[in-house]
A and B are shown apart, each in its own frame.
Chain A
Amino acid sequence: MPSNRPRTGPRAVSRRAFLRLSAFAAGGLTPLTSPGARRAWGQAAPAPKKGGTLRVGFYVEAATMDPHLSGSKVDRQVYHNIYEPLVTLDNKLGLRPGLAESWQQPDAKTIIFKLRQGVKFHDGTDFNAEAAKFNFNRMKTEPKSVRKGELASVESVDVVDAYTIRLNLRRPDAALLATLTDRAGMMVSPKVIQEKGAELERNARGAGTGPFQFVEWVKDAHLVLRRNEAYWSKSGGPYLDQIRYRPIPDDTVKLQSLQTGEIDVMDYVQPRDVAAVKADRNVVVVDVPSLADFAYQLNHTKPPFNVKALRQAVAYSVDLEQIVKGVWLNVGVPANGPIPPTSWAYDSGIPFIKRDLARAKAKLAEGGKPGGFSFTVTTNNIPLNIQEAEVLQAQLAEAGITMKVKLVDSATLLADGNSKSFEMISYQWSGRPDPDGNTYQFYKTSPGVSLNWSGISNPQIDAILDKSRETPRQADRKKLFSELTRLLQEELPMLFIVHPIEPKAFSPRVQGYDPVPDGMMRFREVWLK
């Protein structure tokens, strides 16, 4: 059922959502849930009805149907409809029971999960503690498992009784529960794994417990799910008969497909299309503030950005507000650090770095380049990045800094980043529910190849990162992350630009969508008018 809980997002979001809501009320359209809005006109929500096929357009195809081996973001979209994690997120990023009914932590290195009873996998087998233990072991031992790093803190898993498991940790990990809301916590039928093996990657029939089950996947054409009639929860959905995912790599074509009614759902509207799409009566847009951040990593290991003052000079020359307004068209908010406003750890008391040309020039002098300097930014060859680079170029030029732009494709970007052959490089992180997921692997001292592309190695930062994992209380962790944010603004491993909003677009027939900031589209409560 549609959620009416108001969102407390940043001002810009709720203001816009309110305006849109008024437009809807005036236009007589029935809007979907929107952040910052209540049902202002006091109508009762229409009753959901079963039936229909939801056609979803994604920019790329899923890579694999095996959540333990999955490394790409778009896979998760499908997973959240056919698999279920132990713990789930509500639309305020709070932790809620998933396949685990409840959990306790008798001490910092132990978590005991009481599992939900009466849940069956799509192949008919029972979900129980043995199944859960099988899953965890597979994630930790399967050679190609991508989840090993995520579960690094888990030492072993014991079956306490038929529906209770105990996770024994080798160190305290305050971020683990949040990690278990995604792939690392998803439960796959052991029978399917044992019988199908590698075939699971292409064919997930019978594998999950979720509101929808896998039907077929015709590569390059469609991926089809259908309603799980035996779903364990009898209140609410699922309502849809079928979900059909279609890969449409081209943004413009995808939008036009939605507008002409060829698809019903689109996962992302480009900022440049948002205004036009919102004005289109055939389409409903839902703004979903995301967990993502968009930044530029600065290479601390070689000139010019091994000099802190020069990094700061660049930071002071950039006008974030202009970028967010002119390039992102306010589909996002300027970033003060890696933690997004949707997170409980966000500190609204720390402002983002404002432009200050005088200070920039002073920093230039401090760094030994009073007349300015030049460097190259490596960025992705997509329109948004190109545009942003051009605007940055103009802004930096006013401070006497010459920025050259090198456009590359994603593979080259990854190669350059991993090998630290860049001066400044663009970086996007889709975000994780726990602030640890947005910070640890990027700022902790990591020799060798890692996501710490900047090469930053700061003992203070390292200490805070480790401590935040060991501190159990959220309020204490929040203080730590505030301190981290201040340090990051000082040391500048990254130039933080924006926390994007990920607008999703729907045909007006689609009802009941409840947006969760992790950007995953869960269709359990969705129905078609």
Chain B
Amino acid sequence: MWQLVLHRMAATIPVLFLVSAGVFMLIHLTPGDPIDVMMAESVDAGVKETLRRELGLDRPLALQYAHWMGRILQGDFGRSIRNREPVIENVGRRIRPSLQLAALAMVISLVVAFPIGILSAARRNSPLDGAGSLFSLFGICMPNFLLALLLIFFFGVTLRWLPISGYSDPFEEPLAGLRSLALPAVTLGLALAAVIMRTLRSSMLEALAEDYVRTARAKGVSEWRVIGGHVLRNALIPVVTVMGLQLGTLIGGAVITEYVFALPGVGRLVVDAVFARDYPLVQGVVLLIAVGFIASNLIVDLLYGWIDPRIRIR
């Protein structure tokens, strides 16, 4: 088992190298220069050159890449060009809102998806099932920026129940924090709920078709006990998989939601960094997001293989 883990981890190293080379090349190919952006209104070429030299931006690209990779391997992700703070610190500041948003969105999605999913599977082809399918369709097909705009419009501006911008840390100010995360979490959570509901329904239907269920029913066990017993537990496996994978993409991927709701999260951090051509920040954050994504995939794979011995990872 541990050999498997190590083997998998070793396999991710070339992937991470590829990601690092890819992001470095890509961001350096984009037109524009971070110093020009930072000092847009100034024309002092001397100062700009000094800054460039200080940051090593005047050296050949291959050298810059080698230098950067060398420091990464020592754990030094460098400093953001715009605010001169270490990349790690920048990310650390922004990871909290992103994680909290993701967690809250997960909670909302589970609260919504589980009842609907289970009921849909239990009452298959009934109007309830139809309604559930409709809901999941809605969640998957609705562009999330449109949903965000609608939510802002109704709950934020018209009804004025919830704040539409800004962020408060729920750990510091519980009520204000939760309110500030409510609308964005609902935006993400509804879409997530749709996916989870579908997965849950189909996996439950599969589980319900198993022999032991027929046996239990024949023995007269009540429907709910049947469901609550083995069925649900077995049906959960693919659902957990899906959730784990979603979490991996959610952290760096909730950019639009973060933008529209003005949340200081990781997604917005990296997009702003791209616009500002803040090379070290873009490179460092993308690498970290990739690591997070790969790690979450690995954990899910291992969990899956461990839970369900029938399926082993090759």
Bound state CA distance, A89 and B155, in angstroms? 43
Q: A415: which of B33, B85, B157 is its contact (CB, 8 Å)?
A: B33
Pairwise interchain contact B43-A411, C-beta atoms closer than 8 A: no
Which of B93, B163, B165 meets A219, CB within 8 Å?
A: B93
- Determine the chain B residues whose CB is within 8 A of the CB of A448 once the complex forms: 45
In the bound complex, CA of A253 to CA of B268 (Å): 15
Q: A221-B264, A260-B156, A414-B37 are in contact. Are A253 and B31 (CB under 8 A)?
A: no
Q: Are B31 and A220 in contact (CB under 8 A)?
A: no
Q: Are A63 and B82 in contact (CB under 8 A)?
A: yes
A411 touching B33, Cβ below 8 Å: yes
Residue of A nearest to B157 (CB): A256
* Bound Cα distance from A409 to B82, whole angstroms: 17
B161 to chain A, nearest CB (A): 10
Q: Which residue on chain A has the smallest CB distance to residue B169?
A: A221
- Stretch of A112-120, A161-169, A242-250, A491-499 lying at the B interface: A242-250
Q: Are A148 and B275 in contact (CB-based, < 8 A)?
A: no
Query: Which of the candidate stretches B124-132, B134-142, B190-198, B254-262 sits at the interface with the other chain?
Result: B254-262
Question: Any chain A CB within 8 A of the CB of B233?
Answer: no
Q: Which residue of A lies closest to B35 (CB)?
A: A71
Question: A410 near B163 (CB under 8 angstroms)?
Answer: no
Given A143-B47, A415-B32, A448-B45, A257 and B40 touching (CB < 8 A)? no
A residues within 8 A CB of B31?
408, 411-412, 415-416
Chain A 132-186 interface residues, beta-carbon cutoff 8 Å to B = 143-146, 148-149
Contact between chains at A256 and B44 (CB < 8 Å)? no
B44 touches A254 (CB 8 A): no
CB closest chain-A residue, reference B265: A220
Cα distance, A408 to B40, chains bound together (Å): 15
Select one of A63, A148, A415 contacting B38, CB under 8 A: A63
The answer to whether A457 has its CB under 8 Å from any CB of chain B is no
Contact A262 B41 (CB under 8 A): no
- Chain B residues 44-91 with CB under 8 Å of chain A are 44-47, 50-51, 82-85, 90
Residue B108 at the chain A interface, CB threshold 8 Å: no
Residues of B within 8 A of A220 (CB): 93-94, 264
Interface SS of B by simple majority: loop
B102 close to chain A: CB less than 8 A: no
A34 shortest CB reach to chain B, Å:
27
Contact of A246 among B36, B51, B166 (CB under 8 A): B166
Interface string of B5-49 (1 = CB under 8 A from A): 000000000000000000000000011111011111111111100
Known contacts A248-B166, A411-B32; A450/B43 CB under 8 A: yes
Taking CB atoms, residues of chain A closer than 8 Å to B264 are 220-221
B304 within 8 A of A: no
Q: Report the number of A-B residue pairs with Cβ-Cβ less than 8 Å.
A: 119
User: Does A449 count as interface, using CB distance less than 8 angstroms?
Assistant: yes
Once the chains are docked, how many angstroms separate the CA of A148 from the CA of B36? 17
Within 8 A of A (CB), among B249-288: 259-262, 264, 272, 275-277
Known: A248-B166, A262-B163. A149 touches B93 (CB 8 A): no
* Most interface-central of A250, A411, A449, A451 (chain B CB within 10 A): A411
Assess whether B42 is in contact with A71, with CB atoms less than 8 Å apart.
yes
Which residues from chain A contact B188 at a C-beta distance below 8 Å? none
Q: Is the CB of B32 within 8 A of A260?
A: no
- Interchain nearest-CB distance for A275 vs B (Å): 17
CB within 8 Å of B: which of A180-210? 198, 201-202
Q: Which of A63, A250, A450 contacts B259 (CB 8 A)?
A: A250
Confirm or deny: A460 has a beta carbon within 8 angstroms of a beta carbon on chain B: no
The answer to whether A144 and B47 touch (CB under 8 A), given A256-B156, A430-B41, is yes
Interfacial residues of chain A within 214-235, with CB under 8 A of chain B in the complex: 219-221
Q: How far is the CA of A450 from the CA of B42 in the complex (A)?
A: 9
Tell me the bound Cα distance from A399 to B37 in angstroms. 36
| Candidate in A202, A220, A262 with the most chain B CB atoms within 10 angstroms | A220
**In the assembled complex, B106 has its CB within 8 A of some CB on chain A:** no
Q: Hey, which chain B residues are within 8 Å of A143, CB to CB?
A: 47, 50
Let me know if A71 and B165 touch, CB within 8 A: no
Q: Is A72 interfacial (CB 8 A cutoff)?
A: yes
- Chain B residues contacting A198 (CB-CB under 8 Å) are 84
A443 to B3 Cα, complex, angstroms: 69
**Contact A149-B83, Cβ < 8 Å, known A249-B262, A260-B157:** no
Query: Closest CB-CB distance, B62 to chain A, in whole Å?
Result: 22
B40, B42, B83, B160: the one contacting A410 at CB < 8 Å is B40
- Complex Cα spacing A267 to B93, Å: 26
Kindly state whether residue B164 has any CB partner on chain A within 8 Å.
yes
Asked if A415 meets B163 with Cβ closer than 8 Å, knowing A71-B41, A250-B260, A256-B152, the reply is no
The answer, yes or no, to whether A73 is at the interface (CB within 8 Å) is yes
Q: Is B83 a contact of A63 with CB atoms below 8 Å?
A: yes
A415 CA to B28 CA, complexed, in Å: 13
Tell me the bound Cα distance from A441 to B45 in angstroms: 13
Contacting pair A201 B46 (CB below 8 A): no
A91 touches B (CB below 8 Å): no
Q: Does A418 contact B (CB under 8 A)?
A: yes
User: In the bound complex, do residue A149 and residue B157 qualify as a contact, i.e. CB atoms below 8 Å apart?
Assistant: no
CB distance from B118 to the nearest CB of A (A): 37
Q: Does A259 reach chain B (CB closer than 8 Å)?
A: yes
- Is the pair B47, A145 in contact by a Cβ cutoff of 8 Å? yes
Could you say which residues of chain B place their CB within 8 Å of the CB of A411?
30-34, 36-37, 275-277
Whether the pair A257, B166 counts as a contact (CB closer than 8 A) is: yes
- Chain B residues with CB below 8 A from A408, complex form: 31
For B85, list chain A residues within 8 Å (CB).
202, 219
Task: Identify which of residues 315-338 in chain A touch chain B, using a CB-to-CB cut-off of 8 Å.
Answer: none
CB–CB B40/A262 < 8 A: no
In whole angstroms, what is the CA distance A90 to B114 when docked? 64
Closest chain A residue to B263, Cβ basis = A220
Q: How far is the CB of B2 from chain A (nearest CB, A)?
A: 40
Q: Known interface pairs A63-B38, A71-B40. Does A221 touch B152 (Cβ–Cβ under 8 Å)? A: no
Cβ contact within 8 Å between B38 and A253: no
Q: Which of B135-190 contact A (CB under 8 A)?
A: 152, 156-157, 160, 163-167
- Report the minimum CB–CB distance from B125 to chain A (whole Å): 44
Across the interface, do B44 and A262 meet the contact criterion of CB distance under 8 Å?
A: no
* Chain A residues positioned under 8 Å from B165 (CB to CB): 248, 250, 253-254, 256-257, 262
Q: How far is the CA of A250 from the CA of B256 in the complex (A)?
A: 11
Residues of chain A with a CB closer than 8 A to B84's CB: 198, 201
For A260, the chain B residues whose CB sits under 8 A away are 156-157, 160, 163-164
How many whole Å from A315's CB to the nearest CB in chain B? Answer: 26
15 residue pairs from A and B, CB less than 8 Å apart:
A71-B39, A148-B47, A201-B84, A202-B85, A248-B165, A253-B165, A253-B260, A256-B157, A256-B164, A257-B165, A260-B163, A410-B37, A411-B34, A449-B43, A449-B45
Other A-B contacts than A246-B166, A410-B275, 12 sampled, CB-CB below 8 A, are A146-B47, A148-B44, A202-B83, A219-B90, A221-B264, A250-B262, A260-B163, A411-B275, A412-B31, A449-B43, A450-B45, A451-B43
A-binding residues in B (CB < 8 A) = 30-34, 36-47, 50-51, 82-85, 90, 93-94, 152, 156-157, 160, 163-167, 259-262, 264, 272, 275-277
Q: Which 3 A-B pairs have the closest CB atoms?
A: A411-B32, A71-B39, A220-B264
